[in-house]
Amino acid sequence: MALEASSESLDLASSFTLSASGTFAKEDFVIKRSGIAAINHTEVRRTGLQLQDLEFFEVLGKGASSLVRRAVHKPSQAQLAVKIINVFDKGKRDQLLRELRTLYSSQNYPWLVAFHDCLYDEGAMYIVLEYMDGGSLADVLQAAQLTGSSALSEPVLARLAARVLGGLNYLHVDRHQVHRDVKPGNILLNTAGEVKISDFGLSAELDSTTEMCATFIGTHAYMSPERLGGKPYSFASDVWSLGITLVECADGQYPYSSFSSANPNAFVLLSQIINDPAPTLSTETFSPAFADFVARCLHKEPEHRPQAHELLEHPWLRMHDDALRPFDFGAFVLTVNELRQPHAPR
């Protein structure tokens, strides 16, 4: 929607400013139609991206704070993913700033989705990201169901877990940040064999590694018991979410019986996660090392869960290291793409 104003700028509820010339300013960011113009009162180099150079295609997903569409940069023919956010929604606006801070300051980090620029136009913000042509882990699980197996192998899951833990270790140690929404839909893959974490709109920065978050947002099905119980939580909450994700991928179904995407029972699910024993993997079906890895992630007491950097040294990940057991993860993603819907982008 267009914003009409006779004055040079409008201060909307003192939370952000829109100028008549099309400039969005909030806290440390100034964003124009031509992209991010300044951060912390310092001018930044422009990328040259322009909205008119983008051709938009299908919707890739609807996250907690946005709509994501595939786009092609017409001058270069490069494929991109563009997250579109309505700046007049306060909740989404706050998430926008959190996501931008993470993306902009983490450029070129290998296990986080790459950021190109952010453009503002007519009440909408366009965050331009790299396009991950393998879709999300949720898409992979759906494709696995088409084969009748519905479960992923340990070699696949070990490599996926190692890459996710690399991203979490960066967020936890370098940025003092809890992701708060680790789940299959926010783990992206591509045919180059890369696995990256996405959607930082719910992330919370902590002043120190011991400070706890006291808010209650995110996807309940993957939340840790301490979060669902309304207790303070920290980095261990992300480790729990990864553990639940791995159990779901290994068994081919979500581990708590009360959860169904068709008919979810939120109250029973909350009670199960808080009160029932944590999910486990059978050593008759899975390796003892994998079962132990998951058990450590899913310890009910957060102080007993290992940190991301500790889990990266676990024997299960070591036994599946590419140096010992080469595995073409990119070929795996390519195979999954072939199983996906005919209209899915390649």
Q: Which of 304, 248, 258 is nearest to 281 (CA)?
A: 248
For 82-116, give one letter per residue: b (16+ CB within 10 A) or e. Answer: bbebebeeeebbbbbebbbbbbbebeebebbbbbb
Q: What strand order describes the sheet that includes 78-86?
A: 54-62, 67-73, 78-86, 124-130, 115-121
Choice among 117, 133, 139, 181 that is catalytic: 181
Helices within the chain (DSSP H only):
90-105, 137-146, 154-169, 225-228, 236-251, 266-275, 288-297, 308-311, 315-319, 329-339
Cα 97 to Cα 99: distance, rounded to the nearest angstrom? 5
Q: Which of 151, 196, 204 is nearest to 176 (CA)?
A: 204
Cα 311 to Cα 316: distance, rounded to the nearest angstrom? 9
Active site residue 292: no
Contact between residue 124 and residue 33 where contact means Cβ atoms under 8 Å apart:
no
For residue 130, what are the β-bridge partners? 80
Q: Which residues are catalytic?
A: 181
